[in-house]
Amino acid sequence: MSSFSPAHPQCDKHIYKYPCNLFCFSSPDECIDNNKTSSNLCRNMTDSNLCRFLYLNIRSLKEAHKLDSLHTLIDSLQSVDVVLLTETWLNEHEEKYYNLPGYSLISLNRSKGRGGGVAAYVKNSYTCSIVKSVTTTTHSILHFTVNINSKFHILLFYNPSLSNLSFFLSDFETILRELPPSNTLVMGDSNFN
């Protein structure tokens, strides 16, 4: 995993309160860890065989300028295939207001209350489909596939606290058992700390 703070002054600083992680795969089972700043990552991202995943705990996509900042970050990295977000804080019918040019949005939002939610922006040139989703008043778990160079299974999750840990772990374990042993990326925020 490669955590970094972007070195691009034109980006809105509010999106970088939390670490963002860039993962590049030359094949579904091989992870390349760059451990460099984003400006160095950009130079290494020209290989068209790489599948690029960006993970970020966005902590409210609704906050002023977060979507613009996310778009700027993606542009600064030159090419990202799938953007994975936790804590989107979106409500059921708000997805239409949060489009990124060139990407399709898959989201799983909390039906009641503030906070939570997960989302993925997938490049329009790739097909994706939801396999299974679980959303409760507290946690969100989304299993979907993306066909890039081959089929990737992605499990994206958010759990806000330890208070509902047994419910989260039960749902998480059920979906985790259904995932194939390869071509799988599991990413999210469990708040176990």
Cβ-contact 52, 36 below 8 angstroms: no
Q: Torsion-angle region of residue 65: left (phi > 0), alpha (psi -120 to 50) or beta?
A: left
As for how many domains the chain has, the answer is: 1
Q: Where residue 147 sits, what CATH number does that domain have?
A: 3.60.10.10
> What CA–CA distances, in Å, run from 107 to 5, 6, 47, 76, 97?
25, 25, 29, 24, 12
Q: How far apart are CA 39 and CA 101, in angstroms?
A: 22
- What pLDDT is stored for residue 174 in this prediction? 93
For 85, the enclosing helix (H) or strand (E) is strand 82-86
- Could you list the pLDDT tens digit for every one of the 193 residues in the chain? 333 333 333 333 334 344 456 665 543 333 333 333 333 343 444 556 677 888 998 989 988 888 988 898 888 887 889 999 999 999 878 888 999 999 999 999 877 778 899 999 999 999 999 999 998 888 999 999 999 878 889 999 999 887 788 899 999 999 999 999 888 899 999 888 7
- What pLDDT is stored for residue 148 in this prediction? 83
| Structural domain of 20 | 3-189
